[in-house]
Amino acid sequence: MDRTVTRVIVLMSVVVMSGLEARPSDSAPDLTARWVSRVANGDGTFRETVFVLNQQGSTLSGSVVNPTSEQPIVEGVVDGATFSFASAPPENPRRTTYRGTLAGDDITITVVRPGRPDQTLTARRGPDSAGRLPERVPPPDLHVVPDNGLARTPPMGWNSWNHFRGQVDDATVRTIADAMVANGMRDAGYVYVNIDDTWELGRDTTGHITTNRKFPDMKALADYVHGKGLKLGIYSSPGPFTCAGYEGSYGHEADDARTYAAWGIDYLKYDWCGAARLYRDSEMRAVYQKMGDALRTTGRPIVFSLCQYGRQDVWKWGAEVGGNLWRTTGDISDTWESMSRIGFGQEQLAPYAKPGHWNDPDMLEIGNGGMTETEYRTHMSLWALLSAPLLAGNDLRDVKPEILSILTNRDAIAIDQDPLGRQGRRLRSDGDVEIWTKPLSGGGQAIGVFNRGAGPAQATIRCEEFQLCDADVRDVWGHAQPTRFTSYSASIPSHGVALLRITPSR
């Protein structure tokens, strides 16, 4: 989740108010201060933005502080009780502009972002500590974390972010688990039920991580999920804050790992963005190693998912910090452009995938509504050929039969879960048509014939180029009985695929 959002601070209302310094009524009308805006999330936490303003006459400088970034302001101008500034020059497509008014002890700021509704915030003068980072903890020396023995095939399950984002809660997770049992997802191999960001409250007086009111009892939730024959996953960050600005694991890695183990957690997604203000990318390996060590020390089998968007060639060192899977890309979205760019861009990473350690091109968008069923079959086929983790990201409580049939296709899943653990590669391209192959155990192969073009395309493959003429072929999506493989020809629809499983004859 490579997202920049406002910072969350967890405080009781009395603390919230006492932590802010009121501006004396007889002071000069000067904007110079650290202005703090806090907006309740509705789960016992607050979104916090700190505006660090420095006024010199009619000129305004400073920065806007969020949990994952501190952006210097540009074009800052003061005109009496009103002011304005921006977060980037005009040519930057992500430029945010701010228009504000000083009124007594408060400033009111209207935030204008491209493609989003305007937002109005009220801020008060805060303490000098507002928006500042904690003291930096140096990363540890590098060493190899022993293999935990988990994820010998790519993990399969469900993750809350793509569909629910910050609206996930205990009741949702329980009903998703119920649905995975009832609709056959569990029996098809989808066993992990993973809670993404926004479950955190803060820390108690002893420093232990606590849950917000959306998740009143994480241990009880884990017990419920386990009782369904499923496993529970959770989310954190090596930074002080998560991507959504909630409490991260910075400085508490070992304690958080012990807490996860005590709750009965089976999977941890560990997201880098909250650490970016404290650590350089070159220190990423050591920072992830710290949690890899902490998880191993608990003695509980916990799958370790590294989420750092493919930076620093993570596929070269992810396994050495205890990682079972590592993101190779930025966030996926529910569009053909995003899915195809990510999926077809994985070819060079094939040598780094093996049992227990997988390239992760991000979660499945199948069923979220932004692509056609044809494109979703391509999505599933490509991820299966890539030996990618299969983490559904849709609402499984109300899934269309045709979408469920894509997610639970036995042959596609078998290709993804093949114990040989080899990632597929592009064999050749012919215009918009691409042929991908994946070696399978027993000497077979999976073959994907993809049409990336805007119209239908005729494609033909022959057994000789795969050295599998003494073999049978099965069309995974056609559900036909296997036939003798000599050649295969088909008209592939736009953005479609023919996924074939070739099995040597006995």
Cα end-to-end span (Å), the chain: 47
How many Å is the Cα radius of gyration of the chain?
25
Indicate whether 53 pLDDT > 80.
Answer: yes
Indicate whether 177 pLDDT > 70.
Answer: yes
pLDDT in tens, 186-228: 999 999 999 999 999 999 999 999 999 999 999 999 999 999 9
What's the rounded Cα separation, in Å, for the pair 232 and 158?
10
What's the rounded Cα separation, in Å, for the pair 77 and 142?
48
pLDDT at residue 293, rounded to an integer: 98
pLDDT at residue 75, rounded to an integer: 97
DSSP E strand stretches across 272-370:
303-307, 325-327, 358-360
Handedness of CA 239, 253, 292, 304 (dihedral sign): negative
pLDDT at residue 398, rounded to an integer: 95
Fold of 7-125: Lipocalin (2.40.128)
DSSP E strand stretches across 94-208:
97-103, 106-112, 119-125, 156-159, 192-194, 200-203
pLDDT at residue 28, rounded to an integer: 52
- The SS3 of residue 381 is helix
Backbone angles phi, psi at 271, to 5 degrees: -100, 125
pLDDT at residue 26, rounded to an integer: 45
pLDDT at residue 27, rounded to an integer: 47
pLDDT at residue 6, rounded to an integer: 40
Instruction: Point out which residues pair with 454 in neighbouring strands.
Output: none
203 contacts 247 by C-beta, under 8 angstroms? yes
Catalytic pick among 105, 255, 331, 411: 331
Mean pLDDT (the chain) is: 94
pTM: 0.93
- CATH of segment(s) 156-416: 3.20.20.70
pLDDT in tens, 140-167: 999 999 999 999 999 999 999 999 999 9
pLDDT band at 13 (very low <50, low <70, confident <90, very high): very low
pLDDT in tens, 109-141: 999 999 999 999 999 999 999 999 999 999 999
pLDDT in tens, 439-483: 999 999 999 999 999 999 999 999 999 999 999 999 999 988 999
Tokens 């183990």, residue? 261
Indicate whether 19 pLDDT > 60.
Answer: no
Indicate whether 8 pLDDT > 50.
Answer: no
What's the rounded Cα separation, in Å, for the pair 502 and 443?
9
pLDDT band at 12 (very low <50, low <70, confident <90, very high): very low
Q: Which of 92-106, 187-201, 308-322 has the lowest mean pLDDT?
A: 92-106
331 among known catalytic residues: yes
pLDDT at residue 480, rounded to an integer: 85
37 token code pair: 């805006």
| 192-194 vs 200-203, strand pairing mode | unpaired
Catalytic pick among 43, 169, 170, 271: 271
Indicate whether 265 pLDDT > 90.
Answer: yes
Q: Provide the 8-state DSSP code for 241.
A: B
Average pLDDT over residues 25-34: 73
Indicate whether 29 pLDDT > 90.
Answer: no
Domain boundaries, the chain: 7-125, 156-416, 425-504
416 among known catalytic residues: no
Class of domain 425-504: mainly beta
